[in-house]
């Protein structure tokens, strides 16, 4: 009898730490999209944040719902056309394009009263409603935008944007991070705060920016904040972020392997709290 009881206890312990396959839908913008499109980074990344999580914990099976260049509003407008399916977990990682495109942030009232997709708050409500319609018991994780410096697209330098060191259309990127946190508090969702808690900052997004002295034509590696305001001429000047300039991003905006690892580690921490990892992967 005692032997059977001990065997039963051991069985319960093992099964409680082996949850089986956990399905995860990652909703986001280009940062999420690039997980599966390394060629569009100039092969400057080897793994995105989702792949890093799954590589360490094979029972996690992810679906990439990253949409290049999309805002929270864009996701909300197309939410019925994205082919979202029922999964155990949903993460929502948006906001940086809202800031740059000038989408009005709105207020918590837009979320609470479901005022539509014309503000970030309102668009988040539409996304969350859709997730709950697919799985009322799903774990929903919100991820704030991360800090960014001057972005220059590696495939077309004419596609560029300044960093979050100054406002865009009267709005700070940090306000969008705060909005995500406020929604998380209201809904009691876990929030991964990349903006304030990841150690990814405008200062270390890249190690330097390589810019040409307009008077001498000589290129110099210039660190933040000294490069702010120095002109860059796309199509004429060399790409300002050579390989050795890569920091937590490879282009001022999109995470490098180092940046993706930070994001992955913070997601893994949330998944551990939820008991989503098999016992054989917890020590890895």
Q: What angle do CA 70, 146, 251 make, to 5 degrees?
A: 75
Q: In this predicted structure, which of 17-21, 105-109, 176-180, 237-241 has the lowest mean pLDDT?
A: 17-21
- Give a yes or no: residue 49 inside a domain: yes
Say how many domains are in the chain: 1
pLDDT for the residue 277: 83
pLDDT band at 18 (very low <50, low <70, confident <90, very high): low
Residue ranges of E strands in 53-208: 60-66, 89-93, 139-143, 151-152, 160-161, 191-192
pLDDT tier at 15, thresholds 50, 70, 90? very low
* 279 vs 33 pLDDT, higher one: 33
Q: Taking all residues of the chain, what is their mean pLDDT, rounded to a whole number?
A: 93
Instruction: Tell me the C-alpha distance between 175 and 210, whole Å.
Output: 30
Percent of the chain with pLDDT over 70: 91
Q: Give me the mean pLDDT over the 118-132 stretch.
A: 98
Q: Which of 9-18, 70-79, 100-109, 275-284 has the lowest mean pLDDT?
A: 9-18
The model's pTM is 0.92
Reported as half-sphere exposure (CB side, CA atoms, 13 A), residue 152 has a value of 21
Residue 233 placed within a domain: no
What pLDDT is attached to residue 278? Answer: 66
pLDDT higher than 60, residue 282: no
Task: Give the pLDDT confidence score for residue 12 in this predicted structure.
Answer: 43
Check whether 95 has a pLDDT greater than 70: yes
Mean pLDDT, range 100-125, rounded to an integer:
98
* Strand positions, DSSP E, 77-169: 89-93, 139-143, 151-152, 160-161
Q: Among candidates 63, 123, 114, 115, which has minimal Cα distance to 95?
A: 123
Peptide bond into 225 cis (omega under 30): yes
Find the CATH number of the domain harbouring 60. Answer: 3.40.50.1110
pLDDT at 5: 39
Q: Is residue 6 situated within a structural domain?
A: no
Residue 89 lies in a domain: yes
pLDDT of residue 205: 98
The answer as to whether 207 is a domain residue is no
- For 147-197, what is each residue's pLDDT tens digit? 999 999 999 999 999 999 999 999 999 999 999 999 999 999 999 999 999
The rounded distance, in Å, linking the Cα atoms of 227 and 149 is 10
- Going along the chain, which residue ranges are E strands? 22-28, 60-66, 89-93, 139-143, 151-152, 160-161, 191-192, 209-212, 219-222
What is the structure's pLDDT at 10?
A: 39
Q: Is residue 165 part of a domain?
A: yes
Q: Percentage of the chain with pLDDT > 90? A: 89
More confident call, 204 vs 283: 204
Q: Is residue 268 part of a domain?
A: yes
Domain assignment present for 249: no
Least confident of 109-113, 174-178, 211-215, 250-254: 211-215
Question: In this predicted structure, what is the pLDDT of residue 1?
Answer: 44
Give the model's pLDDT for residue 218. 97
Q: What is the pLDDT of residue 279?
A: 58
Least confident of 3-12, 139-148, 261-270: 3-12
Of the candidates 105, 120, 143, the residue with the CA atom closest to the CA atom of residue 255: 143
Q: Is the pLDDT of residue 203 over 90?
A: yes
Question: What average pLDDT does this structure show over 258-264?
Answer: 98
Q: Which domain holds residue 119?
A: 20-200+255-273
């Amino acid at each position: 009898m005692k032997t059977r009881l001990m065997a039963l206890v051991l069985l319960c312990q093992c099964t409680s730490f082996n949850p089986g396959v956990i399905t995860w839908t990652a909703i986001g913008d280009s940062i999420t999209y690039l997980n599966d499109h390394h060629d569009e980074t100039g092969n400057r990344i080897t793994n995105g944040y989702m792949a890093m999580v799954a590589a360490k914990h094979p029972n996690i099976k992810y679906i990439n719902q990253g949409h290049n260049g999309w805002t929270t509003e864009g996701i909300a407008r197309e939410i019925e056309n994205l082919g979202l399916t029922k999964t155990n977990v949903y993460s929502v990682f948006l906001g940086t394009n809202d800031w740059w495109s000038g989408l009005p942030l709105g207020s918590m009232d837009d979320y609470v009263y479901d005022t539509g997709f014309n503000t970030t708050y309102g668009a988040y409500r539409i996304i969350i409603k859709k997730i709950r319609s697919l799985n009322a018991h799903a774990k929903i994780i919100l991820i704030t935008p991360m800090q960014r410096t001057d972005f220059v697209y590696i495939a077309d330098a004419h596609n560029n944007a300044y960093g979050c060191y100054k406002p865009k259309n009267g709005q700070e990127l940090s306000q969008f991070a705060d909005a995500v946190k406020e929604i998380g508090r209201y809904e009691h969702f876990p929030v991964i705060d990349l903006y304030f808690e990841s150690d990814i900052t405008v200062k270390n997004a890249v190690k330097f920016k390589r810019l040409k002295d307009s008077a001498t034509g000589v290129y110099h590696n210039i660190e933040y904040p000294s490069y702010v305001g120095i002109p860059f001429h796309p199509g004429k000047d060399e790409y300002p972020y050579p390989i050795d300039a890569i920091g937590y991003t490879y282009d001022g905006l999109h995470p490098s392997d180092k940046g993706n690892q930070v994001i992955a580690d913070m997601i893994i921490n949330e998944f551990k709290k939820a008991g989503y990892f098999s016992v054989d992967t917890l020590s890895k």
